[in-house]
Amino acid sequence: MPQVIDFRVDPANYRHWQVEYAGPVATLSMDVDEQGGLFEGYELKLNSYDLGVDIELNDVVQRMRFEHPEVKVVVLRSGKENVFCAGANIRMLGGAAHSHKVNFCKFTNETRNAFEAAEQDSGQQYIAAVKGACAGGGYELALACNHIMLTDDSTSAVGLPEVPLLAVLPGTGGLTRITDKRKVRRDIADIFCSIEEGVKGQRAKDWRLVDEVIVNSKFNDTVSARALEFAKNSSKADTDAGITFEPLARTHTEDSVSWSVVSVEIDRAGRKAVFTIKGPDEAASATMAEFQSLGDQAYMVRLCRELEDAILHMRLNEMEIGLWVIRTEGDPELFTGHEALLADNADHWLANEVRQYWKRTLKRLDVTSRSLVAFIEHGSCFVGVLAEILFSVDRSYMMDGEFEDDDRALATIKLTEANFGPYPMGNGLTRLQTRFLGEPEQVDAAKAAMGNALDAQAADKIGLATVILDDIDWDDEVRIFVEERASFSPDAMTGMEANLRFAGPETMETRIFGRLTAWQNWIFIRPNAVGENGALQRYGTGVRGEFDLDRV
């Protein structure tokens, strides 16, 4: 494995994707470099993908929103003949550690969700133009699009052959999108998921697996026509030019990573990492025009990019660091101004994109399989969207009253409109609504306190902090918590957190991360799949897997 998996990529260096921009329509071609795998030991044949391919895809999706706001429709196609995409690379899956597999799947799921979010957030739609074999993760890519068009020829088929071929699930949302997005009848889904070779032509349409089937000779023209039609009917407003995401600078030491306003200090012996988020140094721009002229250096953009990179870096590179402590430092009033500019201009395309980006980044935190805790210390800056972090983490500890030899401003929490709507969780509720499912009147109490700098006593009264501690207790209590958490089974923590974090309604997102992923995790460590004689290990040998026959 490479020393560090790096999520920062530059379009100039893409190995697997090409994007052509033509006004409101962008064409995204998947053309995976067989030799471009992230790890040794496999070739990315037939447009199969590994994490490296998906890192580039995530970058495309992200830049499409910020750098190309003129794009209303993205056409996803293959750059290869006869194959659309064969899905996740089997040899990579067979050789990867369980923890890598699971985090790889989480990231790919987030990218697929970002396809769907593009329409919900910004009216940007995805069309899958499927020519050639479209199997497993390949079909899951198509499923994440708004519209699926399939060529009617002898080689083009959509399929989810994971179960019969590999004895694992279509785990990148496949099963969930089949039942809940495309609403395929369950017995037909059962047949579909048992067919190795997939489903072609009209039958794919009849089974609700694709939206259109088009004869090969007319396929390209029809795709172009459909893209223009979607663009014409798009709800997305015409906008001026986007902003550019320049390469993100960061510095490493053995036990730390630092960006401009985010840093992570790793305590390997204690199995924890401390994330520090710094508030802005300067006042916010006065107008969105000024904000936009700053490009990716506007504080709210820069912070979000750095926080996202920190989350992804730590998730994939530091598996043994089971506890993330999140703290902030800064001037709450200054931060309030930066956030308010975006809130006051929520209809401005760029303000909207920045807010939606924060929404997605907070969701990444929600589904991160690490114990999360916030320390609300003196001098901290938990305001609005940063206060959302307090309701994303598993617990928070807040300093109460003066601390000896500590001349920082007293710890406060300040709620803003950010905490009451614009950043819903995957379950569709705000974090405060989820937090107070049993005491909905507390959401009103929180709303009434909007704009106030709430000290520990006031925050505790509304239920915003988990534990408030004075100078006498802080060090001991916090230390005990950190040590206790490190002593628990990482698996039990993962399962517990996955169940406690998402009360209330379920959505396709919560199902994908909660139910589908949980089953896949289980299957991914069963000998029937990954054992020496399991189907995943034997794939390609011509010998089928041998199975322990016990049902659970």
Name which of residues 144 to 163 contact a copy of itself (CB under 8 A): 162-163
Contact status, residue 361 vs residue 308, Cβ threshold 8 Å: yes
Closest CA to 129 of 86, 76, 85: 76
Residue span binding a copy of itself (CB under 8 A) among the ranges 21-29, 69-77, 221-229, 320-328:
320-328
Instruction: Give the H or E element holding residue 101.
Output: helix 98-122
Contact status, residue 377 vs residue 347, Cβ threshold 8 Å: no
Phi, psi of 249 (to 5 degrees): -85, 140
Among 434, 449, 537, 538, binds a copy of itself (CB under 8 A): 434
Which amino acid is residue 408, in one-letter code? R
Name the minimum Å distance from CB 299 to a copy of itself. 29
Among 229, 499, 540, 543, binds a copy of itself (CB under 8 A): 499
Residue span binding a copy of itself (CB under 8 A) among the ranges 69-77, 279-287, 398-406, 487-495:
487-495
Q: Which of residues 52-71 bind a copy of itself (CB under 8 A)?
A: none
Phi, psi of 534 (to 5 degrees): -75, 165
Q: Is 175 in the site for a copy of itself (CB under 8 A)?
A: yes
Contact status, residue 68 vs residue 60, Cβ threshold 8 Å: no
Task: Choose between 39 and 547: whose C-beta lies nearer to a copy of itself.
Answer: 547
Q: Which of residues 371-390 bind a copy of itself (CB under 8 A)?
A: none
Q: Which of residues 350-369 bind a copy of itself (CB under 8 A)?
A: 369
In angstroms, the CA 425 to CA 423 distance is 7
Closest CA to 245 of 388, 114, 74, 59: 59
Q: Which of residues 453-472 bind a copy of itself (CB under 8 A)?
A: 463, 466
Give the ranges where 319-370 is alpha helix by DSSP (H).
332-344, 349-366
Among 28, 535, 537, 538, binds a copy of itself (CB under 8 A): 535
Close Cβ partners of 343 (under 8 Å, ≥ 6 residues apart): 351, 355, 416, 417, 418, 422
# binding residues, a copy of itself (CB under 8 A): 93
Among 19, 319, 340, 450, binds a copy of itself (CB under 8 A): 319
Name the minimum Å distance from CB 511 to a copy of itself. 7
- Reduce the secondary structure of 244-267 to three states and give it as a string: CCCCCCCEEECCEEECCCEEEEEE
Q: Is 266 in the site for a copy of itself (CB under 8 A)?
A: no
Among 136, 487, 539, 542, binds a copy of itself (CB under 8 A): 487
Task: Choose between 151 and 396: whose C-beta lies nearer to a copy of itself.
Answer: 396
Task: Choose between 202 and 489: whose C-beta lies nearer to a copy of itself.
Answer: 489
Task: Choose between 75 and 193: whose C-beta lies nearer to a copy of itself.
Answer: 193
Q: Is 544 in the site for a copy of itself (CB under 8 A)?
A: yes
Task: Choose between 254 and 551: whose C-beta lies nearer to a copy of itself.
Answer: 551
Distance of alpha carbon 88 from its chain centroid, rounded?
A: 18
